[in-house]
Amino acid sequence: MDGRFLSKHDVIAASRSFICVRMMTYESASEAEVLQSLWRPGVPLENTVFAILDPNGRPILRGGRGPSMMFRDSADLAKSMNEIAQYYHSGNKATAESLPVVDSVRLALDVAACEHRPLVVVVGQTADERQKAADNLAPVAWSESLMGKLIYSEGSIHDLRQIRGASISRGYLFVAPNLFGTEGTVVTQLGISASRSELEQAEKRVIDSYHPQMLSHHEHMRAADEQGIEWQTAIPVTDPHSLQAIEHRRMRPMGW
């Protein structure tokens, strides 16, 4: 997450008037197509795209790599967001109802590791069972004290190959991802009939117990190279900066 803008309190407060969507760029062909429509015509899609759209999906501010290309600082971004929200204000206060899930457990682990957040996996044997469990968890996820502090995903027992310590096939797993998001370890787990109070306490427990290792970008990449870890995207990477960085790392000796 962009620490200069998106995690600042004034921007978070302004975001309550928006529907905020984190697109996965190279992890979904359909999402990449949407991002490309917000990007520069004829130019390869880069790894990050920032845009603000109106209620009809038309760009109000289009397509920089991030907010820093459009705003001086978080206060400037928050001011613009508040002005946009006021212009489109309908008088109806929107409320979030759905659990904000990442498409797959594998990808959610990686997102959680990148954001230094614990992960909650809703596990069920059928899509309907998972949906009901997710609906039960959603009010907790959107509560004032827990909003934005965890990453969420859904899956069956067959999607838990990268999760250590899971012993339930129906319920909730509260997981600490490893440094690279390639594996996760269950901190606590609850059955499918868990109450909202139990879910809230479990989320607070995993937040309190999760202490991710904080590395600089250089240290993180070096550690990944030393362990032979390289993320394989769902569709090809087209960001020239990323491609140059990948080639540069491959040419460096081990332990750089």
Give the CATH fold of the 101-209 domain: Glutaredoxin (3.40.30)
What is the model's pLDDT at position 89? 80
Give the whole-angstrom CA distance, residue 186 versus residue 193.
Answer: 18
What is the model's pLDDT at position 2? 61
Give the whole-angstrom CA distance, residue 20 versus residue 6.
Answer: 11
For the chain, what are the domain ranges? Answer: 9-87, 101-209, 217-251
List per-block mean pLDDT (blocks of 10 residues) for the chain, which spans 256 residues. Answer: 78 89 88 88 86 91 83 94 89 71 94 94 97 96 92 96 95 96 96 97 97 82 80 87 70 55
Burial of 197: CB neighbours in 10 Å, binned 0-12, 13-18, 19+: exposed
pTM: 0.83
